[in-house]
Structure 1
């Protein structure tokens, strides 16, 4: 435990409070004076009071924001080993404009990138919320309409149940609106956490999913639900499971992971 590193995080982390600060403080609690530590994801989750999937998303965001680096065992190393981290003390400037950028968009990584970053059956794109939010909140409209103010608007025609889109059209719509294709609250994250599929595996699966459907004219009512099926049924054979252990890469999965790196 380094008191000096914890003090730097408390005083100079520019991203405000929330899960990111708690996670960085948890890492500082394990670190030496250079900011180096190697806790497991489960240990970080317990100390920061987050779920495993939330922890993976927050750590991923801290890495992309430049506040954290992986210095060893990037892919987990041999059984029983953990990733080695180093807190980037130089990034702790105390300036709010140095807020990390969060997870990336549709580049083969889940927009959970997204935090895979939607409600079941939703066709459109969910609001992204703040860059680092692990939960996405959509505020209800608070405008009211009275007879004195304005006449009630005519109801818009309901969408046809048969309406479908290609994956390309769906991604373009999300990109145009600046919204996430797979929001942080999508059920796939809880499922992955339950069965031991980590965030990197979801990102690789998303890349394989896009490679499969982007070049085609295949149409779906709900591409998010289709991706959930791809993960739940392991369509691309990227991982395997053994009783009591988290998912591990298959040969095909390791090949896809390296190609996406």
Structure 2
């Protein structure tokens, strides 16, 4: 395996691009979220509401992926405090998640991928595995944050109930998307198949467009991510030629 290397110039360029893309995802999510809650919910037009839900789900997935990159120091290489700050902000926007809980569990996932010591591993059906996934990352803190947001919106906007869907539903759908494409398919054991190495991971090898849409390349290039955890999501397609 050839190591995926980057000199200081490329790292600075990578940091600028990663921060710019993170800002783009956050701004796009905020604009669509505000538009959906304040305006689309008022009209409740079915097709418009569906389009907003799909867009917010994908952007919510992006928020989590930004936090994931920040855990690996890939958003702002060499600046741990900035990575932590960015990660905390996007996790709060996503569902009020705890940065500390996620980073501890995710590092354990990389150390013990696909074993009983992996907090993300849950052999059995996809439903049981997802239920464990939810229990691991969604607790009283997240319930309180989402619940408080709904109450605040209710006080501001009044009894226009559809706005609730534009906060909670995209986060839930994004969690399913993240789990299925970013955890279940890459780490699910298959009868008669052995993983390549200790990472117990496979890449789904979707084409790059579908890989981006499905999970910001963390399904299509999941094994590559385990081999090169400090590479940001947008550069993962480059790593395949290096392995």
* Structure showing greater relative contact order (alpha-carbon pairs closer than 8 Å, 6 or more residues apart): 2
TM-score band by shorter chain is under 0.3
- Bigger radius of gyration among the two: 1
Q: TM-score, normalised by structure 2?
A: 0.27
Higher strand share: 1
The two structures have a TM-score, normalised by structure 1, of 0.26
